[in-house]
Amino acid sequence: MSGSALWYLSRATGVVTVVLLTIVVGLGIVTAGRRRPAGESATIVMGLHRWLSLGMLVFLGIHIVTAILDGYVPISWLAVIVPFTSGYDTLLVGFGTIALDLLVVVMVTSYLRHRIPERQWRVVHWASYAMWLVALFHGFLMGTADQAGLRAITLACAAIGGLMACWRVVATHSDKERRRTIDAQEWS
């Protein structure tokens, strides 16, 4: 594959990754305001959340590999996991690296969820929001003027994701409300 073909593939798979990531994060967010009883829809949402995140890894993998194999700009294999060590566009590639590092931690803790304290899993999973944000910065700011379509898609993901994150802050459901009400009473 020629250099520029690899570069285009890298950017294309990069945008697909951002889209899938936004969907995955969105699916996770949706569980915050569930109606009762949930059941079937909850299972579908959770199932997609898990499966799409795996599918996303495929696109992410191609995105990273093609970016490195394309010899036009110097990005080392080390830069994949250690942030800000890339020769090319150190800052923005670094963002991508940070997002990847966070993703790895989120996915590993989720895979090992039953073997680690629940609290640890929870704290790490919250970092998904930071990961998503950093990935978006990486994607949007690294785009060039001739790829307006891709940038638009990235922007749309940012907007939708931002709205969902706001919704997450205000969303509530009966279980959470009841717990919160009783939590405010004297218990210590």
Partner 1 sequence: MTNIAELLETAGLTGRGGAAFSTAIKLKAAKENGAELIVNVCDGELGAAKDAWIVAHHLHELIEGAALVASGRRPRIRYAAHRGSRTAGLLATAGLPVLEVPHRYVSSEETALISLAQGGLARPMTKRAPFVFGGRDSQGRKVPPTVVLNAETVWRVSQIHRLGAEWFRSFGTSAEPGPRLVAVGGHVARPGMFEASAGVALTDLLDSAGGLPPNARHVGVGGLGGVVLTAAEAQSTIWDTPGMKRHGGALGPGIVTVWNPAECPIETAARMISYGAGESAGQCGPCMFGLPALAADWTDLARNPTGMGRDHLLLRLGQLERRGACAHPDGVARFAQSALRTLAPEFAAHANHACQKGRTQHAQFV
Partner 2 sequence: MPSSSEAARIAVDRVLCTGHGVCAQTLPGAIVLDEWGYPVLRHEAVEPEAAALAVKLCPARALYLR
Binding mask 124-143 for partner 1 (x = CB under 8 A): --------------------
User: Which of 47, 61, 87, 149 lies at the binding interface for partner 2 (CB under 8 A)?
Assistant: 47
User: Which of 31, 85, 90, 147 lies at the binding interface for partner 2 (CB under 8 A)?
Assistant: 31
Which partner in partner 1, partner 2, none is near 182 (CB below 5 to 8 A by kind)? partner 1
Distances (CA, A) of 107 to 35, 104, 118, 136, 175: 27, 5, 14, 18, 27
Which partner in partner 1, partner 2, none is near 46 (CB below 5 to 8 A by kind)? partner 2
Regarding 171 and contact with partner 2 (CB under 8 A), the answer is: no
Q: What is the DSSP string of 77-109?
A: SHHHHSTT--SSSHHHHHHHHHHHHHHHHHHHH
Regarding 121 and contact with partner 2 (CB under 8 A), the answer is: yes
Task: Find the binding residues for partner 1 in span 89-128 (CB under 8 A).
Answer: 116-120, 122
Q: Which residue's CB is nearer to partner 1, number 3 or number 175? A: 175
Which partner in partner 1, partner 2, none is near 183 (CB below 5 to 8 A by kind)? partner 1
Is the distance from CB of 132 to CB of 21 less than 8 angstroms? yes
Is the distance from CB of 110 to CB of 51 less than 8 angstroms? no
Q: What is the DSSP string of 56-83?
A: HHHHHHHHHHHHHH-TTS---SHHHHST
